[in-house]
Structure 1
Amino acid sequence: MNRIPSLTAAAVLLALALPFAAGAQEQTAKKKLYCWNEGGRKVCGDALPATAVDSARTEISSRSGLPVGQVGRALTPEERIAADQAARAARSAAMAEEAKKRRDHAMAESYSTEEELRNSFQERIILLDETVKASRLGIEGRRQTLLSLLRKAGEAELGNKPVDKSLADNIRHQHDELLRQQDLLKQQLVERSLADEDLATALLRYQSMRKRPGQG
């Protein structure tokens, strides 16, 4: 009669103890050991001191004794700045590559033949040629005006007369404008040369995208 309650009590105690035992085993399995360098020597422990929080370290399972992770040291402010710059550069490069893919796709969809693509670029090239031509004519006209004003100033000086202030101001203005137009022409010539390069690059991309699978 008394054995039944005793067995029942033992079963109850065992049932209550099992979750605690399982929890303890789980905590043991999750517990880690840490190894780091301190003063030129390797130090290991089950907790990181404040002085080692920013140090590189290896995390080891206390159950298996095998490494389970590697944590690098904390970056210096300069290294963080460099890492941020590298990350931004990588994002920018990825965005540029994605934009290029979209442009290539749009180009392939917009032009059904190479001739259409050439004609589209040719319109831009013709416009650039006309712009360069107009700039050269403007520069030549500005140069002739400046020479005329300089002759007037020279004649005044040869006649022992003072150069009129309005004439001197006009000479400076014409000279500044001539320099500005010459700089503008240089930029236009660069754009004109790039237009040919852009056309060649676009044709290569177009031919590559239009090439059928299996063709060499």
Structure 2
Amino acid sequence: MSRFTTLSLTVTALALLLAAPALQAQQQQAPKYQRVQAKPKKLYCWNKGNERICSDALPQDAVNSAREEFGVKSGLRRGSVERTLTEEERATEAVAAAQRQLDQAAEETRKRTEQAMLSTYEDENDLRRVFTERTSILDNNVQTASYNVASLRDALVTLLSGAGDRELAGQPVTDKQTQDIRLRHTELVAQQRLQASFIAQREALDTEIEETLQRYRVLKGTAVANDPRG
């Protein structure tokens, strides 16, 4: 090893020895940093059965519960969270929301209809003519159903009478007679239901007409004048 190389190593070693105390002093003077746990900012309070629980941490089994939130330092109420709805409750709420939307749409339609009614019809007779076609159709349906009911009843009575005559004569009722009786009875019951439905629709239309006229009178300001009790 050359003299120059030996001299360089000696200088380097000397520099390290001189720097060691300084580094040690710096390490002793440097502040020691420790991880400080963040203090909670909220206090949660919820009910568990009949027990009121408050904690600065929200456990997993209370995540879906209704709760109130308070500031830890101030103690003031900062807000609240509603209980998470069940699947059934969410479905019920969806139906209710849809119904509210329908009700709102119906109310808006009613208002537009009332405005159109005032601007379109000059008097009650003019308004009544709006219902003429519906009244005529329903009246015709009721009459047709009534005719069919009467005809089927007569046919059924005739079939039953024929079957009764055979039994009185000591003869068995044929399969065809039995089948025809059942068929006519089924048709009669169906037609009676249809007749009842048409009659109910006609009565409902009468109610609708009267309510529409009453509303028209109120809008026109003539309700009191046209009230027979006035």
TM-score norm. by structure 2 comes to 0.64
Contact 2:145/2:195, CA 8 A, preserved across alignment: yes
CA distance in 1, matches of 2:163, 2:59: 85
How big is the shift at 1:197?
Answer: 0.2
Of 172-181 and 124-133, more deviation after overlay is shown by: 124-133
Specify which structure has the bigger relative contact order, considering alpha-carbon pairs within 8 angstroms and separated by 6 or more residues. 1
Matched-pair identity in %: 35
Cα deviation 1:134-180 (Å, max 9, x = unaligned): 22222222222222222222222233333333333222222211111
Partner of 1:150: 160
Q: Which amino acid aligns with 1:43?
A: C
Q: Where does 1:26-65 land on structure 2 (aligned, <5 Å)?
A: 32-37=41-46, 40-45=51-56, 48-61=58-71
Matched position secondary structure for 2:128: helix
Contact 1:37/1:43, CA 8 A, preserved across alignment: yes
Q: 1:181 to 1:64 in 2, by over 3 A?
A: same
Contact 2:43/2:72, CA 8 A, preserved across alignment: no
Matched, 1:126 2:111: no
CA distance in 2, matches of 1:204, 1:92: 24
CA distance in 2, matches of 1:170, 1:38: 70
Contact 2:45/2:69, CA 8 A, preserved across alignment: no
Contact 1:56/1:74, CA 8 A, preserved across alignment: yes
Matched position secondary structure for 2:195: helix
Partner of 2:210: 200
Compare CA radii of gyration and give the structure with the larger one. Answer: 2
CA distance in 1, matches of 2:177, 2:167: 12
CA distance in 2, matches of 1:188, 1:160: 44
CA distance in 2, matches of 1:168, 1:41: 75
Structure 2: gaps of 5 or more residues: 1-39, 223-230
How big is the shift at 1:184?
Answer: 1.1
CA distance in 2, matches of 1:137, 1:85: 43
Q: 1:53 to 1:190 in 2, by over 3 A?
A: same
Matched position secondary structure for 1:70: strand
CA distance in 1, matches of 2:146, 2:203: 16
How big is the shift at 1:34?
Answer: 2.6
Q: 1:53 to 1:99 in 2, by over 3 A?
A: same
Contact 1:36/1:52, CA 8 A, preserved across alignment: no
Q: 2:76 aligns with which of 56, 62, 66?
A: 66
How big is the shift at 1:196?
Answer: 0.9
Matched position secondary structure for 2:170: coil
Q: 2:149 aligns with which of 129, 132, 139?
A: 139
CA distance in 1, matches of 2:89, 2:134: 46
TM-score norm. by structure 1 comes to 0.67
Matched position secondary structure for 1:69: strand
How big is the shift at 1:74?
Answer: 2.6
Structure 1: gaps of 5 or more residues: 1-30
CA distance in 2, matches of 1:37, 1:133: 67
